[in-house]
Amino acid sequence: MSAFQIINKEPDGYARRGRITTAHGVIETPCFMPVGTKATVKGLTPKQLEDEVEAQIVLANTYHLFLRPGHDLIKKLGGVHKFMGWTRPILTDSGGFQVFSLSSLRRIDEEGVTFRSPIDGSSHRLTPESSIAIQEALGADIIMAFDECTPYPATSKQALDSLELTARWAERSKQARKRSDNLLFGIVQGSTFPELRRLSLEKTVAVGFDGYALGGLSVGEGSAAMYDVVNEFGSQMPEASPRYLMGVGTPEDLLIAVDAGLDMFDCVMPTRNARNGMYFTSHGPLSIKQARFSEDPEPIDASCDCYTCRNFSRAYLRHLFMAKEILSSVLATIHNLRFYNQLMAGMRKAISCGEFQQFKGAFLADYKSLG
């Protein structure tokens, strides 16, 4: 039986509701994956992630865990689930994106990438083989092929060279796999060039994976260019496999991408913005530091059922933020992740009822983005 089952499809569109079965449980899609970079979703206990957020799966970063504390240590301690006290599914990325965005002095060759650790300046190397070995040592349920995240902007020639390298690395990633208890996803690159996205998709599908991801987006190309890729290629990715849009995005982005046929998402926005005092609400983002909230007895979002909204006023949350209290980050993270998860749950339900377009329209009519 395939690890992915489609439960419902929108009658006249691409949105679909599905279910991914992993070694650590089932994930209902469309789903959002909170980012737990260093084997912790910043500020939350696994218990809060389960009880308050109801997260189905979290993402951990191979690059960070490879550098510190090291995948061998995590393997020795029983794998990343046991290490971080999280019993539900975990996805690890391949490290490719972080090597390009966070490391200095990187040198890329056909075999892989050499780079310096930002922690202590030491030299390290990642290859498709080592990335897969690290991810399998960590023991994630869903692992990603090692790719080159094409920088933006790139010339058509650069983007072509890059996607061809990614395709060769995709094949090597697949060959490097040793465990059978995980799912391996391939990553489609090609920057904002439709013909190159198409070529990358063909090459990735030709290798054959358990799922497919759109990579290299949300890297500076802007919403319009990102939506173009998502709208053109979301539904062209293999229908029978999970489709993952990496590193995206805002609530609007998620609605548009689900509409285009995507199933899985991750983004630091709900967690990072929470630490900066930005709360997502059904009416749009809200910056709690604004003076107008200083005496406001209302919850962040009256329609939200999260722990934060059930128990605390905007005035208290503003006080915590202004006083630089840790609890500000904790309560905002609980709310934002719950908000994202409730948005995904709402989409799943709407798809089941054949009402996705109405749901999307109603949400966007109420939602005012910042700026």
Q: Using CB under 8 A, list all residues that contact its own copies.
A: 38-40, 42-48, 68-69, 73, 76-78, 83-85, 294-295, 297, 307, 311-313, 315-316, 318-320, 322-323, 325-327, 329-331
SS (H, E, C) 69-81: CCHHHHHHCCCHH
* SS3 state of residue 183: strand
What is the closest distance, in whole angstroms, from the C-beta atom of residue 346 to its own copies in the complex? 25
265 vs 293, beta carbon nearer its own copies = 293
What residues act catalytically?
93, 266
Alpha carbon distance 67, 116 (integer Å): 10
In a 10 Å sphere around its CB, with 0-12 CB exposed, 13-18 middle and 19+ buried, how is residue 298 labelled? exposed
Q: Within the chain, what is the greatest distance between any pair of CA atoms?
A: 60
| Closest separation in Å from C-beta 40 to its own copies | 5
Q: Which is nearer to its own copies, 82 or 368 (CB)?
A: 82
Q: Which of 45, 128, 148 is nearest to 87 (CA)?
A: 45
Nearer Cβ to its own copies (43/247):
43
Nearest approach, Cβ of 73 to its own copies (angstroms)?
6
Q: Which two tokens stand for residue 148?
A: 């080159």
Q: How far apart are CA 90 and CA 92, in angstroms?
A: 7
Instruction: Write out the DSSP string of 94-119.
Output: -SHHHHHHH-EEEEE-SS-EEEE-TT
Smaller CB separation from its own copies, 85 or 361: 85
Gyration radius of the chain over CA positions: 20
Nearest to its own copies of 85, 222 (CB atom): 85
The H-or-E segment that residue 197 falls in is: helix 194-207
| Shortest spacing between CB 327 and its own copies, in angstroms | 5
Pick the closer one to its own copies by CB: 193 or 316. 316
Hunting for tokens 């992630």 — which residue is that?
A: 49
List b or e across 209-240, with b for residues whose CB sees 16 or more CB atoms inside 10 angstroms. bbbbbbbbbbbebebeebbebbeebbbbbbee
Q: How far is the CB of 209 from its own copies (least distance, A)?
A: 31
Minimum CB separation of residue 296 from its own copies in Å reads 9
- Cβ-based neighbour number of residue 161 at 10 Å: 14
Question: Cα–chain-centroid distance for residue 246?
Answer: 5
